[in-house]
A and B are shown apart, each in its own frame.
Chain A
Amino acid sequence: GAGVSQSPRYKVAKRGQDVALRCDPISGHVSLFWYQQALGQGPEFLTYFQNEAQLDKSGLPSDRFFAERPEGSVSTLKIQRTQQEDSAVYLCASSLDIGSNQPQHFGDGTRLSIL
């Protein structure tokens, strides 16, 4: 497809389980971002990749969160030992080039519910 694709669309897990969320950015986009969005809030930055390099992970809330983009295309966000406060929508965005003036194109997100 032409847009950013995320899977799964919905994920339900029990507290303590590990989850993996996938993002397929727009082909050729250099920059990739992960955000967390709570209900009624704006997206909050988690981490940023430029090609395969993770240049900023300052927004990851704890060491249970891990992201990778090994070939500079598809990215995976992994959450280990999930907790209820991890319940949120996880959004992935990509932009064509480097630079803070580049519009980011978002996927529909993965809605994660931790029971």
Chain B
Amino acid sequence: GQNIDQPTEMTATEGAIVQINCTYQTSGFNGLFWYQQHAGEAPTFLSYNVLDGLEEKGRFSSFLSRSKGYSYLLLKELQMKDSASYLCAGPSGAGSYQLTFGKGTKLSVIP
């Protein structure tokens, strides 16, 4: 099965840049997802990486290194509304439809 690790909490200042890291087991890998979840709400899809490198989507970018089993989510020009949990998720095994989620990183954006 998959084992996903990410920091529990982070704090950053409005307008700044923050990087949220995620590590995972490389066996059976078939892409890595990032989701955003505000308290009491549904997780919402942010990005999907299957190839190495950085993918940019507006203020949010996601990076993947398959050989290192490492990904990060980069949030630029932080806004107060970015305060949320950020979940890293990967397949539970080769060809599996199951996603294994990390515990989530709770990001607090302060003025």
Contacts and interface: CB of A to CB of B under 8 A. Distances in A.
B103 to A, nearest CB: 5
A59 B104 contact: no
A66 interface: no
Given A41-B103, A41-B104, A100-B91, A105 B97 contact: no
Interface string B84-111: 0001010110011111111110000000
A101 B48 contact: yes
Residue among B50, B98, B103 with max Cβ neighbours from chain A (10 Å): B98
Size bin of chain A's contact surface: 20 to 34
* Most chain A C-beta atoms within 10 Å of own C-beta, residue among B31, B41, B97, B99: B97
B68 to A, nearest CB: 20
B30 A42 contact: no
B7 interface: no
Nearest to B43: A106
A41 to B, nearest CB: 5
B3 interface: no
A91 B44 CA distance: 12
Q: Which of B43, B45, B87, B100 has the most CB of A within 10 A?
A: B43
Contact of B98 (A56, A98, A101): A56
A104 B45 contact: yes
Given A101-B31, A103-B33, A45 B98 contact: yes
Interface of B: 4, 30-31, 33, 35, 40-45, 48, 50, 87, 89, 91-92, 95-104
Interface of A: 3-4, 31, 33, 35, 40-45, 48, 55-56, 58-59, 91, 98-101, 103-109
